[in-house]
């Protein structure tokens, strides 16, 4: 039974600034939800960034909507499933829903002694890892950064692109590292449908996919774009639920999906999107949101399902943090091991976590 919930705000520096078409991140502004009872704690990590630039959600907003509208719905016997049902009437706010859902799920699985991977239907014990490479000040620097990740053993490179930093960097990486490198790009919504002819020039680089070239709301425009661009279309920001995923696939807006539990309201919805892709033979991969070890552990459990046929943005802890809040996830042979312990299978180093915590609030359940 749940006795209390803690909201924890913390911060951790990134090893290097991460630049995308929507902005630059230098630190991770964190919100953890801890669901406790009977000596156990279930953990959730909110994926929202500090500002509403990737999506309309942002971490202070998530905390507000959690406190005001979601936490009051939680009682001692709330489960991830009953919580998801009870917040169906709250529009949007997927990242806020996801962090609490994940903590509830982790709490119950820890009580039951079952790993999140087993619960979700994992079939792999380790997952292939790719890395997301931010926009760099110059092509030379980009080549150096990519070389470093290849040396680390990453099995797939994703380049962030934006208008003015697209064809030339992609050409340089393809030419330097050869045709065998698994390479893809992510535009984070920075283009318009009128850029279709320009984006089609990426076709010559034999990319695995192009991720979210157009704004989130323009799902149908991606279907039009897919008629001009031969590179497989992959959606990230647009896919907010299994219903959107089904419609996007039905109209040909994408042929690949980036599944991020935080973006779709949690692991239960993420599993539904996985199942849809699996049934239809549509390639899927597990995205990332610069998670610390807590969020990373849960993503690895999901990424171990059979429908994740492409390497994910499931990078090692060292990709982002000099010191992670958990035992670091280490790349071995281009793979990360899926945790096997109960729930997400890993605990934070509490002394270290407390040292990077700005504040923590206890919410006592009354019913």
**Residues linked to residue 30 through DSSP beta bridges, in sequence order:** 10
* Sequence-ordered alpha helix ranges (H) in 231-334: 242-250, 267-280, 293-303
Of 2, 48, 290, 302, the one binding ligand OSB by CB under 6 A? 290
**Between 114 and 240, CB nearer to ligand OSB:** 240
Q: How far is the CB of 258 from ligand OSB (least distance, A)?
A: 7
Minimal CB distance to Mg ion: which residue?
A: 236
| Rounded CA separation 285/281 (Å) | 13
Query: Given the structure tokens 């994992």, which residue do they identify?
Result: 122
- Residue ranges in 203-222 that form contacts with Mg ion under rule CB under 5 A: 211
Which partner, Mg ion, ligand OSB, none, binds residue 102 by CB below 5 to 8 Å per kind? none
Under the criterion CB under 6 A, does residue 98 sit at the interface with ligand OSB?
no
Q: How far is the CB of 213 from Mg ion (least distance, A)?
A: 11
| Rounded CA separation 13/356 (Å) | 10
Q: Are strands 156-160 and 183-186 parallel, antiparallel or unpaired?
A: parallel
Token pair listed for 330: 């280490």
Q: Are strands 40-45 and 23-37 parallel, antiparallel or unpaired?
A: antiparallel
Token pair listed for 156: 């797939």
Of 169, 262, 266, 287, the one binding ligand OSB by CB under 6 A? 287
| Rounded CA separation 49/303 (Å) | 22
Which partner, Mg ion, ligand OSB, none, binds residue 313 by CB below 5 to 8 Å per kind? ligand OSB
Cβ(236)–Cβ(22) below 8 Å: no
Which partner, ligand OSB, Mg ion, none, binds residue 54 by CB below 5 to 8 Å per kind? ligand OSB
Determine the 3-state secondary structure of 258 from DSSP: strand
Q: What is the set of active-site residues?
A: 160, 260
Q: How far is the CB of 280 from ligand OSB (least distance, A)?
A: 22
Under the criterion CB under 6 A, does residue 321 sit at the interface with ligand OSB?
no
Under the criterion CB under 6 A, does residue 313 sit at the interface with ligand OSB?
yes
- Residue ranges in 72-91 that form contacts with Mg ion under rule CB under 5 A: none
Which partner, ligand OSB, Mg ion, none, binds residue 290 by CB below 5 to 8 Å per kind? ligand OSB
Of 236, 269, 291, 324, the one binding Mg ion by CB under 5 A? 236
CA distances from 353 to 35, 88, 312, 362 (A): 16, 32, 26, 16
Under the criterion CB under 6 A, does residue 184 sit at the interface with ligand OSB?
no
Q: Determine the size of the site formed for Mg ion (CB under 5 A).
A: 3
Of 78, 84, 221, 315, the one binding ligand OSB by CB under 6 A? 315
Cβ(5)–Cβ(19) below 8 Å: no
**Residues linked to residue 184 through DSSP beta bridges, in sequence order:** 158
Q: CB burial class (10 A; 0-12, 13-18, 19+) of residue 164?
A: exposed
Under the criterion CB under 6 A, does residue 289 sit at the interface with ligand OSB?
yes
**Between 136 and 188, CB nearer to Mg ion:** 188
**Between 117 and 169, CB nearer to Mg ion:** 169
Give the x/- contact pattern for Mg ion in 154-193, rule: CB under 5 A: --------------------------------x-------
| Rounded CA separation 134/148 (Å) | 13
Phi–psi pair at 151, nearest 5 degrees: -60, -35
CA distances from 202 to 183, 186, 248 (A): 12, 12, 22
Q: How far is the CB of 366 from ligand OSB (least distance, A)?
A: 37
Token pair listed for 109: 């699985």
Which partner, ligand OSB, Mg ion, none, binds residue 269 by CB below 5 to 8 Å per kind? none
- Give the binding site for ligand OSB (CB under 6 A): 54, 132, 186, 188, 236, 287-290, 313, 315
- Give the binding site for Mg ion (CB under 5 A): 186, 211, 236
């Amino acid at each position: 039974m749940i006795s209390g919930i803690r909201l924890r705000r913390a911060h951790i520096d990134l090893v290097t600034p991460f630049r995308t078409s929507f902005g630059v991140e230098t630190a991770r502004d964190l919100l953890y939800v801890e669901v406790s009872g009977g000596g156990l704690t279930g953990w959730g990590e909110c994926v929202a960034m500090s500002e509403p630039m990737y999506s309309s959600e942002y971490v202070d907003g998530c905390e507000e909507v959690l406190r005001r509208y979601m936490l009051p719905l939680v009682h001692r016997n709330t489960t991830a499933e009953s919580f998801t049902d009870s917040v169906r009437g709250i529009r949007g706010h997927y990242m806020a829903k996801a962090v609490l859902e994940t903590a509830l799920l982790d709490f119950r699985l820890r009580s039951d002694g079952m790993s999140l991977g087993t619960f979700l239907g994992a079939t792999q014990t380790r997952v292939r890892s790719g890395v997301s490479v931010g926009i760099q000040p110059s092509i030379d620097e980009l080549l150096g950064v990519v070389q470093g990740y290849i040396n680390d053993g990453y099995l797939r490179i994703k380049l962030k692109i934006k208008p003015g930093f697209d064809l030339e960097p992609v050409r340089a990486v393809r030419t330097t590292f050869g045709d065998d490198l698994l390479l893809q790009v992510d535009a984070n919504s920075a283009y318009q449908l009128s850029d279709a002819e320009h984006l089609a020039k990426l076709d010559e680089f034999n990319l695995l996919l192009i991720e979210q070239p157009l704004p989130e709301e323009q799902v149908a425009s991606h279907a039009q774009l897919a008629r001009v661009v031969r590179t497989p279309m992959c959606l990230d920001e647009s896919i907010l639920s299994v219903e959107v995923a089904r419609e996007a696939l039905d109209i040909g807006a994408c042929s690949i999906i980036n599944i991020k539990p935080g973006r779709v309201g949690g692991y239960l919805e993420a599993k539904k999107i996985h199942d849809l892709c699996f049934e239809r033979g549509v390639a899927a991969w597990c995205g990332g949101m610069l998670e610390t070890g807590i969020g990373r552990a849960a993503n690895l459990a999901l990424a171990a399902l059979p429908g994740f046929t492409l390497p994910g943005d499931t990078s090692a802890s060292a990709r982002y943090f000099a010191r992670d809040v958990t035992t670091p996830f280490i790349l071995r042979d281009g793979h990360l091991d899926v945790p096997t312990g109960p729930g997400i299978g890993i605990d934070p180093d509490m002394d270290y976590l407390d040292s990077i915590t700005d504040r923590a609030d206890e919410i006592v359940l009354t019913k």
